[in-house]
Chain A
Amino acid sequence: MSEQIEKLDGTRKRRRRSLAHYREMLEKYVFPQRKLLGALAVLLTASIVLQLVNPQIIRYFIDTAQGEGSLKALYYAAAVFIGFSLVQQLVSVWAAYYSENLGWTTTNLLRADLVRHCLSLDMSFHKKHTSGTLIERVDGDVNSLANFFSSFIIHLLGNLILMLGILLLLFRENIWIGVVMTLFVIGAGFVLQWIRKINVPVWKKWRAQNAELYGFIGEHLEGTEDTRANGAAGYVLNRFYELSRRMLPVRIRAFLGFGMMWSTTIVVFALGNAAAFVVCAWLWKRGELTLGSIYLVFYYTELLAKPIEKIRSQLEDLQKADASLIRVRELLATKPRISDGPGAPLPAGPLSVRFDRLTFAYEEDGEPTLHGLDFTLKPGRTLGLLGRTGSGKSTLARLLLRFYDPQEGAIELSGVDIRRCKLHELRGGVAMVTQNIEIMEGTVRDNLSLFDERIQDEDILAVLKEIGLEEWFRSLPDGLDTVLSSGGGSLSAGEAQLLAFARVFLSDPGLVILDEASSRLDPLTEHRIEAAISRLLEERTCIMIAHRLATVQRADEIVILERGRIIEHGPRERLAADPDSRFSRMLAVGLEEVLA
């Protein structure tokens, strides 16, 4: 018994919380649009009044037609009826226009907030969510909220008023009719609300499956080269079939739920009409109603279908929105694991780097990727970081940019714990070039300046020249306005990597991290941009992560990592001269490779 009460209590609490969520959303996005809301309210009031008046005209018409007298009054009544109908049509189009505008204005605000939020989340989030899934979240889910935002309040309120108006006018006819129809409306409301509850989980599941489907398709649209040349189309299609198989039953259940809502309205209205008939027939026999009034009751009962139907369809949208809203809120509530620091400033010029007994694991209680890292790099020095794949080199770089925070220890840049910096200041002060190709659809200019309008074209051209992309640049049909396709398109991987270099040249960081940055460059090109890199590293601290010895020849110091621990650290020249050092043994392997 008490369990049941608790359960009920829980449901009630959940409902209250869900209502609170809706209100929060409305307050944040919809209510500030006062002008649009005001215009909509006026138009809706006009429409409600017109709808309430028309049946009265018909009643007048029927009662007059039953009696004697001039036909003129009948024609007038018909003309007024038609006139009102036309005005109402205009009003409804106008209202739709405003409501659509309201919907897009408000959801665009929400979309921008979502995008902003997702961009602030760290890589542990983005690793788990493909861009396809995020399209579904930022656009798909918000689209199903659009109706809720644009018209839900207005239509819900408008239809409630219309419903109350009709009930009031029915009471005016006869108290019994009013009572019966009020009971009917209340019952209908309860039944529809109950039906709605049943269907939410199915819709949620359906949308989740959709997100999975489009994530899957997105991945495979990106991986066509691998799939095609390895004859793996069958594998992709088989996975598609498997998804289809899982989706069909959910789709059918979702549709049946949808049909159930509609069916319920039909039954409820048949009951309403039947009740009205019985009551009216009784009152007619007692001589308390005219035929015109009975028709009026019948007409109003039919008219009641409209607001209840509208409220039903609004609730139906809400049902879809419910699931979306939950996910949107979940997304907005995802806290970045990395939070902005209080804003300790980083000094200008080259930064010193200090790792203070740092230990880090990707999983909270997993095997640490880095163990008790402890070393200092003086400002302006260049560190060569060597180690096998998986030894933790790239992890170290990600920690410097605060894509993750260490579990133990700290990183200090020029004596400032990086957790105390504002993230955008930290990332302004620390630049990184990786081997990933990160070209976005957009012009060459946008790709280099990342939409920073303060960067002048001359600066871009100077940098392109410096890193040897001048010739490539001259081959572009529209210069800086040439549109690059996403993922690089006609750009070779090496050129894309040079563009990534160019981005760093255009900013002014105090610490540069080159993470296998030249791995896609051929030795000749690498050689050519050396002068440019030297200039970049002047008055800057640098960490070069490499698995190729050639890359670290300019390093002042060498750190060799193995399974997350420093196994060797020292000035490059001294290590190279020491035949027992790992570094010199690696150099020897490199030479063997040359001699083979």
Chain B
Amino acid sequence: MNTRHFFWRLLAYRPVYYLANLLAWTVIHMAPLLPGLITKAFFDDLEGSYNFPYGVWGIAALLVGAALARVALIAAGMWTDASFRFRISALLRRNMLAHVLQQPGAKAIPFSPGEGISNFRDDVDQTEEAVSWSVDTLGLVGFVIVSSYILISIDAQMTFFVFVPLILVVTAAQVATARIQKYRAASRAATAKVTSSISEMFSNVQAIQVAGAEARIVRRFETLSDERRRTMVKDKLMTEALSSVFTNSVNLGTGLILVLAGYKMRSGTFSVGDLSLFVYYLTFVTQLISNVGNFMTFYKQMAISFGRMKTMLQGASARVLTLPAYIGIGKRRLVEDEAHEGSGGQFAGDGNAATPAQAEPLRVLEVRGLTYRYPETGRGIEAIDLRLERGSFTVITGMIGSGKTTLLRALLGLLPAESGEIRWNGRPVEAPADFFVPPQSAYTAQIPRLYSDKLRANILLGLPETGDSLAQALHAAVMEDDVAQLADGLDTMVGPRGVKLSGGQVQRTAAARMLVRDAQLYVFDDLSSALDVETERQLWERLFRDRGEATCLVVSHRKAALSHADHIIVLKDGTIEAEGTASQLLAVSDSFRRLWHGEDSAAAAEPSAAPGGAGR
């Protein structure tokens, strides 16, 4: 899809609002035709060539009346404009957000969240401007037609000589706008750098303060800001040079009128009233042309923004951006939702109603030759084979950087696998990212995120609360005491804008988030890394007791997990080094022995506390 299609599809999103807006602004822009004629009548009345029936007071009253009418139109125009603009940008933001949420979760946007925000903010704003300014064009056409008719009837030659230069100016300026693109892109890139540096520094504010690196961070920020200043000033110079051509054409036009009018006024074929009308219309024509010029500039800028938004889509069709969708306002249209579902796969497009089709109960999940390498470093996982039986408990372990998290992510579609096959009961899974969601599977990330919302909402994430499902999940995640201690219990606001929970509490909230979803496969990455011994013991205990028929795939190097496992996979440098049960691996795998013994060396070092140690 090119920029033009993108633009048209946005206009067509809410055609009624757009047409209402177009109509309102066309009339608003044509309204100044009237005061011009009134002014001419005034001068002609003075010269005596025309007698206005109600005298100079009548003229004054007409002038004010025309203004009041225009004001009423402007109020309507502002309403339609705000309504239309808002819907356009809400649609774009909604579609981008929905798309991001549909992407492989660990790689949802191709740059930092800070830069992502500038897509959602600046690029959408830019597009909104372009779409909104497009309504001013028709008004210009209407104004030009009517005013030409009036002016030609006064003096055809003069009309021609005044309007032709104006057209030339527009053409020249339009050619010049092409040059702006380059500067615009540079200034946008510099801005993105500045915003992402702000985002970075405040996301890591504690590390910066601990390291006392504030002054150095500010210095770097200043360098980036100055680079932005340079690009912005260049950009502005170009834009301003262009817009001054538009605005100054009224003066040049007036000059041309003077050149031609001298002779005609002497000979009496051109009155002062005529002169005033020419100059008056000239002002509005150039003003409207400069509106069109603005539109062209905005349009070019939108093209750049559109390019950036496409980059964010990571190769998906740009149609995603403009698909009609519910944006939270007005009625939810079924047709649109269906259209969206059709293109978006099994994605829960709107609300909770649309859940992906439930697959048949898991008997066995097989993975063959799963491979993913990070493009930056070339590291990752290679040719992983895996088999999970219903109800089994599988642990993945290995040293840091051995690819444990990558394996989980590639399996769940949170990273796009390069190759490999995943089979659910022998049937291939085509789109793992769409398939591995509840009710098939649920997941706890290694570093879970909480959102600025109530604790309850953070766990349920839109899931309807049924019976005591929430209480059960809280119990299984060993969260119930923590909830009781919070001032507002489950209604406590948590996340970045709420109460800060401890690392362990965040992990257990995420566990509850996973467990409250009735899934057949639970996948958790290093769930207990921030838990104390006692809490961890309870957590595993409850998990083993309550999980029922659920299958578990777990990254851990805790003995509690390893010793319960039906199957253990030891990863090294992205490949499977050894697998088996704990006792088998202790016998055959050197790496496993070291991973296993690393942990209890502390306990072993305590002579008095090791009376039972011999039993090992």
Contact = CB atoms under 8 A, between A and B. Distances in A.
Interface string B30-43: 00000100010011
Contacts of B510: 226
B579 to A, nearest CB: 17
Given A65-B262, A522-B595, A591-B603, A237 B94 contact: yes
Contacts of B567: none
B327 A244 contact: yes
Given A88-B251, A100-B232, A240-B93, A553 B602 contact: yes
Interface string A573-587: 000110100001011
Nearest to A216: B452
A522 B97 contact: no
Nearest to B97: A240
B216 A266 contact: no
Given A74-B266, A388-B535, 20 more contacts: A74-B262, A96-B240, A221-B109, A229-B445, A230-B517, A231-B355, A233-B102, A237-B349, A241-B326, A270-B64, A298-B276, A401-B209, A427-B210, A485-B376, A486-B200, A519-B530, A522-B557, A522-B595, A550-B602, A589-B533
B229 to A, nearest CB: 4
Contact of A486 (B112, B241, B447, B451): B112
B426 interface: no
A207 B334 CA distance: 33
Interface residues of A, number: 188
B513 A226 contact: yes
A394 to B, nearest CB: 7
A101 B229 contact: yes
Interface string B435-451: 01110011111111111
A211 to B, nearest CB: 11
A581 to B, nearest CB: 10
A317 to B, nearest CB: 16
Contacts of A432: 210
Contact of B436 (A138, A229, A263): A229
B108 to A, nearest CB: 4
Interface centre among B121, B209, B240, B256 (most CB of A within 10 A): B209
21 contacts: A79-B259, A97-B233, A100-B236, A104-B228, A108-B222, A226-B444, A229-B412, A230-B442, A241-B329, A247-B86, A251-B82, A263-B70, A394-B502, A427-B211, A441-B112, A452-B216, A477-B376, A487-B112, A523-B557, A550-B603, A576-B606
A391 to B, nearest CB: 8
Interface stretch (A2-10, A110-118, A170-178, A405-413): A110-118
Contacts of A590: 533, 600, 602-603, 609
Contacts of B174: none
A495 B353 CA distance: 41
Contacts of A116: 214, 218
A238 B77 contact: no
Contacts of B71: 263, 266-267
> Mostly helix, strand, loop or mixed at chain B's interface?
helix
Contacts of B70: 263, 266
A423 B210 CA distance: 10
Interface in A249-274: 251-252, 254-256, 258-260, 262-263, 266-267, 269-271, 273-274
B461 A235 contact: yes
A112 B194 CA distance: 11
Interface in B440-468: 441-453, 457, 460-463
B212 interface: yes
B500 interface: yes
A108 B229 contact: yes
Q: Name which of B272, B442, B460 has the most chain A CB atoms within 10 A of its CB.
A: B272
B82 A256 contact: yes
Contact of B103 (A224, A263, A477): A224
Given A251-B86, A589-B537, A62 B94 contact: no
Interchain residue pairs A-B with the least CB separation, the first 5: A523-B598, A241-B328, A494-B400, A235-B462, A547-B532
Nearest to B449: A223
Given A58-B258, A101-B229, A595-B615, A112 B97 contact: no
A330 interface: no
Given A126-B202, A229-B523, A387-B532, A238 B42 contact: no
B342 interface: no
A195 interface: no
A100 B235 CA distance: 10
A252 to B, nearest CB: 4
Given A231-B356, A553-B602, A119 B214 contact: yes
Nearest to B608: A577
A82 B255 contact: yes
B405 interface: yes
B86 A248 contact: yes
A64 B159 CA distance: 23
Contacts of A271: 64, 67
A75 interface: yes
Contacts of B42: 277, 281
A242 B251 contact: no
A80 to B, nearest CB: 9
Interface stretch (B6-14, B54-62, B150-158): B54-62
B205 A591 contact: no
Interface in B491-513: 495-497, 500, 502-505, 510, 513
B514 interface: yes
A11 B398 CA distance: 68
Interface string B58-98: 01110110111011001101110111011000100110011
B357 interface: no
A101 B235 CA distance: 11
B64 A489 contact: no
Contacts, number: 608
B167 interface: no
A65 B379 CA distance: 85
Contact of B63 (A221, A243, A274): A274
Interface in A18-71: 54, 58, 61-62, 65-66, 71
A96 B42 CA distance: 38
B584 interface: no
B46 interface: yes
B348 to A, nearest CB: 4
Given A221-B109, A221-B116, A495 B400 contact: yes
Contacts of A459: none
B412 to A, nearest CB: 5
B613 to A, nearest CB: 7
Contacts of A97: 233, 236-237, 240
Nearest to A262: B74
Interface string A444-460: 00000011100000000
A571 to B, nearest CB: 13
Contacts of B599: 523, 548, 550
B221 interface: yes
Contacts of B98: 233, 237
Nearest to B251: A85
Nearest to A433: B210
A230 B97 contact: no
A127 interface: yes
Contacts of A520: 400, 446, 526, 529
A219 B496 contact: yes
B262 A234 contact: no
A333 B476 CA distance: 46
A593 B199 CA distance: 42
B161 interface: no
Interface in B184-207: 194-207
A390 B508 CA distance: 13
A241 to B, nearest CB: 3
Nearest to B451: A219
B225 interface: yes
Contacts of A440: 200-201, 203-204
Given A234-B351, A450-B216, A269 B67 contact: yes
B461 A227 contact: yes
